[in-house]
């Protein structure tokens, strides 16, 4: 819970700092663009104000995306971040379309355009420096939190810095008589905004449709898991993203003769090992498979399936009663192996051991039973 709260607090703090800067730059560039007759600077000011608008959107989404898992959202709320990023991408497209339309109108009346004032170049230069700083500041926080939403916001700031470079070039070029260069700078700004919008939408859409992580990443996960003592192989590994972090579901092959509790212990150790090595993993779901059964979704034997525990128990109970003339049960463990079933008969006393040996000789002739061992139970001192 504390981890989610810390992440939420940092995301909000970084976004508020960026929003204050975006508002100041947006208003300053629009006013400067009006007084210096620079359409590119006005367009850049609109870009900065869209940054401020998306900052507000990020604040709203961050409160939800970084909330701790609950009953209704057991895997957390990370997908809200992907949805928010797509909405931001759409805003970018919309803004780019407006700027491109206005630029086309200005290209039709180039002879009537005024030459932008030199003061606009100073505003553009100040914007470049400040937006590059907030880009690096926000990106550092995004990398710490592994947040696609904050990363998207950082790149929005970088796009504003790059667009201000185009504005600076346009204003300077206009001073040398190339008046259309200011409008062309506005077109470049719009295209940069559209490009980033496309990239943000595409990346988040891959998350929403449960796209797997790249093969290289999958290989790194498998190599880490296979180093876990007790793991004899990996029969399947699936992954997907949620809120910029991976959810990994893996089938681990183990010795088929070990107990359920030992298999669970191996799976828990493998999960812990993976999460400790890769900080971008939010959850690992291990499934324990007996080595030798590659088709983990189906029982051994296919159509000619091996008998269930209930069927084996009924057989053992019937023959045990015949041998001992008692209506008691004999404890046993089953090991479902690739070739059939191995049975461990557990006798409670030396007298029962003799009966169990006779029962073992009978059971090995039964179809699907490939081996029987007789063990004698020894009680611990605490018992």
- E strand or H helix at 376: strand 369-376
The CA distance from 60 to 66, in Å, is 11
Exposure b/e, 177-208, CB count within 10 A at least 16 = b: eebebbbbbbbbbbebbbebbeebbebbeebe
Name the phi and psi angles at 336, rounded to 5: -85, 105
pLDDT of residue 290: 87
What is 215-290's CATH number, 3.30.70.1350, 3.10.450.40, 3.30.1380.20, 2.60.40.10? 3.30.70.1350
- DSSP letter for each residue of 93-150: HHHHHHHHHHHHHHHTTGGGPPPPPTHHHHHHHHHHHHHHHHHHHHHHHHHHHT-HHH
* Residue 268 C-alpha from the chain's centroid: 20
pLDDT in tens, the chain (383 residues): 445 566 667 777 777 887 888 888 888 888 888 888 777 778 778 777 877 777 777 777 666 666 666 677 666 666 777 777 788 788 888 878 877 887 787 776 666 556 677 777 788 888 888 888 888 888 888 887 767 667 777 877 777 777 778 778 777 877 777 777 777 877 887 887 788 788 878 877 777 767 778 888 888 999 999 999 999 988 888 888 776 678 888 999 999 888 889 999 999 999 999 988 887 787 898 999 888 765 666 666 555 678 888 989 999 999 999 888 888 788 999 998 888 889 999 988 888 888 899 999 999 988 889 999 998 877 655 54
The CA distance from 243 to 8, in Å, is 13
The CA distance from 148 to 142, in Å, is 7
The hierarchical CATH code for the domain 2-208 is 1.20.1510.10
pLDDT of residue 52: 78
Q: Three-state SS for 26?
A: helix
What's the pTM?
A: 0.59
- Domains of the chain, by residue range, sit at 2-208, 215-290, 309-376
What is 309-376's CATH number, 3.30.70, 1.10.20, 3.30.1890, 3.30.300? 3.30.300
pLDDT of residue 315: 92
């Amino acid at each position: 819970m504390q981890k989610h709260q810390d992440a939420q607090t940092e995301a909000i703090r970084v976004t508020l700092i960026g929003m204050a800067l975006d508002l100041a730059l947006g208003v300053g560039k629009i006013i400067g663009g009006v007084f210096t007759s620079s359409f590119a600077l006005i367009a850049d000011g609109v870009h900065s104000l869209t940054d401020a608008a998306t900052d507000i959107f990020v604040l709203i989404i961050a409160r939800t995306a970084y909330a701790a898992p609950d009953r209704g959202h057991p895997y957390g709320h990370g997908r809200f971040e992907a949805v928010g990023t797509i909405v931001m991408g759409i805003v970018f497209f919309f803004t780019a379309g407006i700027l491109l339309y206005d630029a086309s109108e200005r290209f039709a009346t180039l002879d009537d355009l005024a030459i932008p004032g030199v003061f606009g170049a100073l505003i553009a230069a100040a914007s470049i420096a400040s937006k590059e700083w907030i880009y690096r500041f926000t990106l550092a926080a995004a990398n710490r939190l592994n947040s696609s939403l904050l990363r998207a916001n950082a790149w929005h700031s970088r796009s504003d810095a790059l667009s201000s470079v185009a504005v600076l070039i346009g204003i300077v070029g206009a001073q040398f008589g190339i008046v259309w260069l200011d409008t062309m700078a506005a077109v470049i700004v719009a295209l940069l905004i559209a490009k980033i919008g496309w990239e943000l939408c595409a990346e988040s859409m891959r998350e929403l449709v449960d796209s797997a992580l790249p093969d290289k990443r999958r290989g790194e996960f498998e190599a880490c898991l296979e180093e876990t003592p007790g793991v004899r192989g990996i029969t399947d590994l699936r992954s997907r993203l949620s809120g910029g972090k991976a959810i990994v579901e893996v089938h681990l092959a183990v010795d088929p003769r070990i107990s359920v509790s030992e298999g669970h212990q191996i799976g828990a150790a493998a999960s812990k090992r993976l999460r400790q090595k890769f900080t971008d993993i939010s959850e690992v779901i291990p499934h324990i498979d007996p080595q030798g059964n590659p088709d983990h979704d189906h029982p051994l034997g296919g159509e000619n399936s091996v008998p269930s525990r209930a069927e084996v128990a009924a057989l053992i109970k019937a023959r045990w009663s015949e041998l001992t003339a008692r209506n008691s049960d004999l404890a046993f463990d089953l090991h479902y192996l690739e070739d059939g079933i191995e049975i461990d008969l557990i006798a409670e006393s030396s007298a029962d051991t003799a009966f169990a040996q006779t029962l073992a000789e009978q059971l090995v002739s039964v179809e699907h039973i490939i081996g029987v061992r007789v063990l004698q139970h020894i009680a611990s001192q605490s018992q």
